[in-house]
Structure 1
Amino acid sequence: MSKYTVPTFSLAMLHPKYWCVLLIISVSYLCSLLPYAIQIRFGKLLGRVVLSFMKRRTRTIKRNLELCFPDMTDAEREKLTKQNIENTGLALLETGMAWFWSNERIAKHTTVVGMDHIDKLKAEGRGALLIAVHSLNLELSGRAFGQYAQGMAVYRPNNNPCFDYFQLKGRSQGGHTLIHRKNVKFMLEALNDGAFMWYAPDHDYGRRRSTFAPLFAVENACTTTGTSLLADNTNCAIVPVVFVRDNDSGHYTLTIKEPMIDKFPKGDEHAGACFINKIVEESIMAKPSQYMWLHRRFKNRPDGEASLY
C-alpha cells in the first residue's frame, strides 16, 4: 500500500445522502470566521447541549475519570466532567479553526516552544516519532506545528467519502503528508529518511498488536505495540509534544519536549508500552480537562476480566 491517495471532490458528493456532511462543513467554516471570543462561548454551549442528549458519552467521561483518578473527590471529578463536556463542544469549532484559518490567524493564537529540538534533529538527519495524545484540540496542534515544520501523520480514512475529502484537505494544511495507518512499510522508510511523524498511541486500538500496561490507576490498559514496531526498526527519536489552550485567553501553546534518544526500551514491547503510557500521562495532566475522555479507553480487558464499563 502506498501513501494515502488524496481524494478529489466529485459531483457525486452533492447527492442528498451527503447533505448533512456538507451542512456541518459549511457551518464549521462560517463559525471559523467569527471572533474567537464568540467561538469559545458558542463551543462550550454546544458541548453542554449536545452531550445532554448523549448520555452514554457523558457516562463514559465520568467512568474514565473514576478509573484514572480514584483519589479525586466527587466534587473535583464533577467539575472536571463539566469542563470536559464544554471543551468537547469547543473541539468542533477548533477543528474549523485548524482547517479554515489563515496562517496569520493561526500564528496570532499559537506559540510553539522547543522548535530548536526539531532543528537539531534535522541537522543530524534523524527522524522522530512525535508522541501526541488525543486532546480535544488535536487538529489545531498539527496545524500549529505546520507553521514551522512539515511533518507526517498516521491517518485513518473516514468511511464517508465526502467527509474524508474535507478531513484530508484540512489535515494536509501546511504540506503535511498523511500515511494510512496500515502502511507500516512507508512509515519505517519515512522515519529512516529523517521524517517527523505525528503518532498518538494513547487510545485502545484493540487487542491485535497490543499489550496490557499501566495507565494512571488502571493496572491493565490495552496499549498498542506499534510504537515499539516503529522505534525498534528505525533510528528515530521519541519526542513528546503537548498542545494546550491557555484557559479562555484564546491562546494555545505547543510544547516540543526534549527528544528521548536511546532511552526507549527497544526489543521489549511491554516495557515500551509502559514507557509510552508514562509520556501519555504527563501530556494529559498538562490540561486534563482538554483530553478526549469520551473515548472508552479501557474497553478491552485481559482474558477473564470483567468489563470496566
Structure 2
Amino acid sequence: MSAPPPKTAPTGLPRFQRAWLAPRHWGSWIVAGLAWLLYRAPRRWRDRLAATATPLVQRHARRQRRIAEINLGLCFPEMPAAERDALIDAHFALAVRITLDYGLLWFGRGEEILAAVRSHGEEHIAAAQARGQRVIVLVAHALALDMGICAFGVSYRALGPYKALENPVIDWLIARARTRFRGTVFEREEGIRPVVRGFRDGQILVYLADEDLGPQSAVFVPFFAEPKATLTTLGRLSRLGKAVVIPAVTRWNAADGVYDCYYYRPLADFPSGDDALDACTMNAAVEALIRPDPAQYMWTLRLFKTRPPGQRKLYKNLLEKRD
C-alpha cells in the first residue's frame, strides 16, 4: 500500500484538495474571481471601489478599530485623540485599497509584480552576498507586507515562515502567491530546521518579528512606549547562520500608484550575544520601519496580548467599554 501524498509541495505550498471545490467554499472562489477581475481592471477602478467600500468596512470592524486604538494609545501616548482617530481612518482606507490589489499577487506575471513594487536599497543585499554573508530580511507587519514578500520572491530565492489561515482556499491562494516564483514557505511549528536547510542552500530568510506569539522564547522589552513579549529568535538565527539582518518595509504610494519596498543598512553589532539587548535592537529597527508612515502598519494585531506578571489583559471586552 502506497503512502499518502505529503500535505505540502516541496515549496511548502499546501497541496490542492478537491474538497475545496465543495459548495461551502464557493464564496471563497467568488472572492478569487473578483480578485482576478480587479487585477485586470484599470487602477482607477480599484481606487474608486476602495473609497466607496472603506466606510462600510469601518462600520463592520468595530472590534479591530478598538484594538488599533489600544495599540496606538500605548505606543504613542502623547498623540492627541483626534490625531489618533484620523490615523486609524487612514489605516482602514489603506487596508481596503491594498486588499484590492491581491489579484496581482495571485494571478499576475512576475514582471507585472516587479513593475508594481519598486525596490530601494537592494545594494545592501548585494553587498552582503558579495562578502559571502548569509542574509535575513527583517520585515514588519505592514499592510503591504505580501506585496513586498511576493516581489522579493520573484527576484530572490526566499524562505519564510507561514501561518495557515482558517479559510483553506484563501490560505492556498496566499501561500501560492509567495511560492509561485522562487520563494518557499514553512510552518512555524517546524522549528529552525527549514531555516538551517535554507541557509545551507543559499536562501534568504524573510523574518517577521513583531507578532505576539506568547511568553515562550520571549522577553519583555520596550516596543515604542510599552513592554512587549518579544521573541529572541532573530539573534539566535543570525548567530547560527552568521547572517546579517537587513530591515525592510513595503508601503503603498498613492501618488504614484505603486508600492515602494525599502531595504535598509544591516543592523550594527548584531547579534550581541545578549538576548534581551538583541530583542531591544530588533524592536527599535521595527519602530524605525513604522515611524515614517504609521498608518501603513497593521495596528489591528494584538501586539500586547501577553502581559508582564501582574498586569491586566488589554483586549478583553473590547466593545463593552473604553479605557
- Aligned mate of 1:296, from 289, 292, 302: 302
Letter in 1 for 2:31: I
Rounded to whole Å, the distance in 1 between the matches of 2:277 and 2:29 is 45
Task: Determine if the alignment matches structure 1 residue 129 to structure 2 residue 136.
Answer: yes
Q: Which runs of 5+ in 1 are unaligned?
A: none
1:134–1:292 Cα contact (<8 Å) kept: yes
Superposed displacement of residue 117, structure 1: 1.9
Output the CA distance in 2 between the equivalents of 1:212 and 1:44.
39
Shift of 1:192: 4.7
CA distances 1:120-169 after superposition (whole Å, capped 9, x unpaired): 22233321110001111111111222343231121122344333322221
> In the alignment, which residue of structure 2 is the partner of 1:205?
213
Q: Give CA-to-partner distance per residue, 1:265-308, whole Å, 9 cap, x none.
A: 33322111111000110101132111111111111101111123
Deviations 1:240-264 (A, max 9, x none): 1121122343022111112236x11
**1:13 corresponds to:** 20
Which sections of structure 2, spanning at least 5 residues, go unmatched? 1-5, 316-323
5 Å-filtered alignment, 1:167-182, equals 167-182=174-189
Per the alignment, residue 224 of structure 2 pairs with 216
1:98 aligns with 2:105: yes
Q: What one-letter code is carried by the residue in structure 2 that aligns with 1:233?
A: L
SS in 2 for 1:245: strand
1:118 is aligned to 125
**What does the per-residue CA deviation read over 1:162-184, in whole Å, with 9 as the maximum and x for residues that have no partner?**
33322221111322111222331
> Are the equivalent residues in 2 in contact too, given 1:97–1:140 (CA < 8 A)?
no
1:199-278 aligned at under 5 Å gives the runs 199-218=207-226, 220-260=227-267, 263-278=269-284
- Residues 1:217 and 1:111: Cα distance change in structure 2 (over 3 Å): same
Q: Which moved more, 1:144-153 or 1:228-237?
A: 144-153
Matched, 1:188 2:187: no
Secondary structure at 1:255 match in 2: strand
Stretch moving more, 209-218 or 188-197: 188-197
TM-score, normalising length: structure 1: 0.91
Distance across 2 between alignment mates of 1:128 and 1:151? 10
Q: Deviation of residue 234 (structure 1)?
A: 2.0
- For residues 20-169 of structure 1, the aligned pairs below 5 Å read 20-169=27-176
Which one is further off, 147-156 or 76-85? Answer: 147-156
Which whole-Å CA distance do the structure 1 matches of 2:119 and 2:292 have between them?
15
Supply the AA of the counterpart residue of 1:208.
Q
Contact 1:243 1:255 in 2 (8 A): yes
| Contact kept? 2:68, 2:88, Cα under 8 Å | yes
SS at match of 1:233: helix
1:44 CA drift (Å): 4.0
Q: Which stretch has the larger CA shift, 274-283 or 223-232?
A: 223-232
The amino acid across from 1:302 in the alignment is: P
Confirm or deny: 8 A CA contact 2:13 2:179 kept in the other structure: no
Q: How far has the Cα of 1:78 moved from its partner?
A: 1.6
> How many percent identity over aligned positions?
29
CA change 1:5–1:243 in 2 (3 A) is closer
More divergent stretch after superposition (16-25 vs 206-215) = 16-25
CA distance in 2: counterparts of 1:18 and 1:31, whole angstroms: 20
TM-score of the superposed pair, with normalisation by structure 2: 0.88
Moved more, 157-166 or 134-143: 157-166
- When structure 1 is superposed on structure 2, of 158-167 and 248-257 the one drifting more is 158-167
Report the aligned-residue RMSD.
2.1
